[in-house]
Amino acid sequence: MIILKSDDEIKKIALASKIVAEILRLLETMIKPGVTTKEVEQYVEKIIKERNGVPAFKGYKGYPSSLCTSINHEVVHGIPSKKRVLKDGDIISIDVGVVYRGFIGDAARTYPVGNVSEATKRLLRVAEDSLYKGIEKACQNNRVSDISHAIQNYVEKNGYSVVRNFVGHGVGKSLHEEPQIPNYGQPNKGPLLRKGMVLAIEPMVNAGTSDVVIMNDGWTAVTTDGMPSAHFEHTVVVTDDKPQILTRL
């Protein structure tokens, strides 16, 4: 069942989303060579606590950490560790969810670590642009797959692939609500988009194959060919007019 949010509920989701947006902005100065992913998690937990929020991911279906830190060929759900040290030329995808006053904001961003190659910069640029191509279609009376198709078309036109094992989703009081939002598909399919729907749109874009496999920790998804992957996500609300991005400052 798709839950349409009231104006008051959207305001509450926006408050949680603002915390997420602040975190992703603050991480710009923290993400650098020599930092461990555990240090990133501790920093994020501190910010969430200072703003009277709660990490949305910790304990969700048994997930052990407050955020996901996925490096290079890791697509999603990388678990922070004291042993994972960021190196010059890496990329790291940070996925953050915050519960505030009972509602959730959810967003992700992939950061360059130090000096990265031009090929890596292009991957990040296309992945982020594909998110906005999808968001443009999050309009009343479009359908869910219009978002999906816009993302896939842009990504593949630029020579990359979209991950098919994981999808975007509705968000509100729960982290994952209906509808599911794949990052591929034909247009004009799936549920009709209506005012009050709040969506977490999140393309995951691979430099090589779209195929992924789950590592022995039961969480971390990696590309099967070892090629890098980038992940960008925003929480967005469908309105009478243009879609409103809640996780952007």
Nearest to 94 by CA among 60, 51, 54, 43: 43
Amino acid identity for residue 227 in this structure: M
DSSP 247: S
| d(C-alpha 156, C-alpha 23), whole Å | 30
The answer to whether 235 and 17 are in contact (CB under 8 A) is yes
176 is in an annotated binding site: yes
106 is in an annotated binding site: yes
Q: Residue 76 is encoded by which pair of tokens?
A: 């999603």
| d(C-alpha 60, C-alpha 119), whole Å | 35
88 is in an annotated binding site: no
77 is in an annotated binding site: yes
233 is in an annotated binding site: yes
Where would I find the H helices in 137-249? 144-157
What are the binding residues for a divalent metal cation? 95, 106, 169, 202, 233
What are the binding residues for substrate? 77, 176
What are the binding residues? 77, 95, 106, 169, 176, 202, 233
